[in-house]
Amino acid sequence: MNRTQRSALSLLGFLLLTTAAFAQLPLTMQYQGIIEFPPEDAKANPTPTVNFIFSIWDAQTGGKKLWEESQPNVPLAPTEGGKFMFSVTLGNTLPIPLKEKRQYWLQTIVDGDTVARTEISAIETTKATDTSVSQKFESQFGYSFLLPNKAKYNKIGSEVLPAGETEKQNYILPGGAGAITIRHIKEWRMVPRDFKMMDGVHYHDPDSVGRNGKIFKRVYILKENTVEIEILLTAKGETEYGEKVQAIKDSFVPMPNGVKELDAWRYGRNPKDYEKGRYFDNKGPSR
205 C-beta neighbours (distance < 10 Å), count: 14
Domain with CATH 3.40.1000.10 in the chain: 133-278
| Cβ contact 30:16 at 8 Å | yes
Question: Which strands sit side by side in the sheet containing 113-121, from one edge to the other?
Answer: 65-75, 49-57, 103-110, 113-121
Domain with CATH 2.60.40 in the chain: 3-121
As a CATH number, domain 133-278 is 3.40.1000.10
- In terms of pTM, does the model score above 0.75? no
Q: What angle do CA 84, 122, 74 make, to 5 degrees?
A: 25
pLDDT digits (tens, 9 = 90+) for 157-215: 899 998 888 999 999 999 999 999 999 999 878 888 777 877 778 888 999 998 889 99
DSSP 125: P
168 Cβ partners below 8 Å, 6+ apart?
Answer: 157, 158, 159, 160, 181, 182, 183
As a CATH number, domain 3-121 is 2.60.40
pLDDT digits (tens, 9 = 90+) for 221-269: 998 899 999 999 999 999 999 999 999 999 999 998 888 777 766 776 6
Bridge partners (DSSP) listed for residue 169: 182
Q: Is the dihedral of CA 147, 189, 117, 33 positive or negative?
A: positive
CA distance readout (Å), 172 to 153, 156, 233, 241:
6, 11, 10, 12
